[in-house]
């Protein structure tokens, strides 16, 4: 069982994102709004009845957080942190530390209290979405950047002007079933062809980024998959 004091030794598929170009710091990645067609008409019709069917400006109000459920040593430290590890934490809450990519950091800083995120198991045999968490504390300095014993220590960061941030997240629930990456990708490819809600999903355009934003439309569609039988 993971204890709270050991949390800096865990979480996030950090090395996946550290190879990304750090000049992404100021780059905007908001995708354009898309139309909706075959394969998900009933879902779209229900959403249109809620919104009057009008297109609105795309905003990110949900998130996808990647974490590694299997043991892997990084600078001698096991970075494993599964959703079961989160559930074992006091109040099922933890800080989401160790992000060392500017774009991912900026997404962390954009998170608002109460927003929900998918908990995504990454860098494992079958990656995919296993549960839902919520933001319970907005961005504040990530203390691990100053800890020389931590695998994500950053000697260039200063306490008076910290480079890196983290948020606190709390377990909400497991998804009704595991939603594998392969299934989401099938919908993404179909939606790229017919203009569906997942056509611009960042999970496929910035695969290595461990913190990813989701539009309301993307979140709702992916969540609806938990009600379907696996293909």
User: Region 160-180: what's the mean pLDDT?
Assistant: 98
Would you place residue 118 in the very low, low, confident or very high pLDDT band (cuts 50, 70, 90)? Answer: very high
By the 8 A CB rule, do 183 and 224 touch? no
- Residue 78: the pLDDT is 94
- Residue 36: the pLDDT is 38
Residues near 143 by beta carbon (within 8 Å), at least 6 away in sequence: 8, 97
In order of 54, 127, 129, 225, the CA distances from 180 in angstroms are: 31, 6, 6, 10
- Residue 24: the pLDDT is 42
In order of 29, 83, 148, the CA distances from 129 in angstroms are: 22, 10, 33
User: Region 66-91: what's the mean pLDDT?
Assistant: 96
Cα 10 from Cα 21, distance rounded (Å) = 24
What's the distance, CA 226 to chain centroid? 17
Residue predicted with more confidence, 15 or 228: 228
**pLDDT more than 70, % of the chain:** 74
Would you place residue 164 in the very low, low, confident or very high pLDDT band (cuts 50, 70, 90)? Answer: very high
The tokens describing 80, both together, are: 């494993």
- Residue 35: the pLDDT is 37
Least confident range of 44-48, 55-59, 185-189, 209-213: 44-48
Q: For residue 218, which of 83, 58, 51, 41 has the smallest C-alpha distance? A: 58
- Residue 218: the pLDDT is 97
R_g of the chain, CA atoms, integer Å? 18
The tokens describing 30, both together, are: 């908001």
Is this prediction's pTM over 0.75? yes
- Residue 21: the pLDDT is 43
Domains along the sequence of the chain with CATH: 62-226 (3.10.590.10)
Residue 82 pLDDT more than 80? yes
- Residue 37: the pLDDT is 39
- Residue 57: the pLDDT is 62
Would you place residue 50 in the very low, low, confident or very high pLDDT band (cuts 50, 70, 90)? Answer: low
pLDDT tens for residues 126-155? 999 999 999 999 999 999 999 999 999 999
- Residue 158: the pLDDT is 96
- Residue 201: the pLDDT is 96
Mean of per-residue pLDDT scores for the chain:
83
- Residue 230: the pLDDT is 78
- Residue 59: the pLDDT is 81
Go through the chain and tell me how many residues it has.
231
């Amino acid at each position: 069982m993971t204890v709270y004091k050991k949390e800096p030794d865990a979480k996030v598929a950090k090395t996946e994102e550290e190879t990304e170009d750090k000049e992404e710091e100021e780059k905007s990645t908001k995708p354009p709004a898309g139309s909706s067609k075959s394969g998900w008409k009933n879902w779209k019709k229900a959403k249109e009845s809620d919104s009057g069917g009008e297109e609105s400006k795309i905003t990110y109000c949900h998130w996808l957080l990647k974490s590694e459920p299997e043991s892997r040593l990084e600078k001698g430290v096991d970075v494993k942190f599964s959703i079961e590890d989160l559930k074992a934490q006091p109040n099922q809450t933890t800080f989401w530390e160790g992000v060392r990519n500017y774009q991912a950091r900026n997404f962390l800083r954009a998170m608002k209290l109460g927003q929900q995120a998918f908990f995504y198991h990454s860098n494992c045999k079958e990656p995919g979405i296993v549960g839902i968490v919520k933001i319970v504390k907005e961005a504040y300095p990530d203390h691990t950047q100053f800890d020389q014993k931590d695998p994500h220590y950053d000697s260039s960061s200063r306490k008076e002007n910290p480079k890196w941030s983290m948020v606190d997240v709390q377990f909400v629930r497991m998804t009704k079933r595991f939603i594998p990456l392969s299934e989401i990708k099938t919908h993404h490819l179909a939606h790229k062809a017919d203009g569906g809600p997942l056509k611009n999903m960042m999970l496929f355009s910035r695969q290595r980024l461990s913190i990813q934003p989701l539009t309301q439309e993307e979140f709702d569609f992916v969540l609806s998959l938990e009600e379907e039988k696996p293909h």
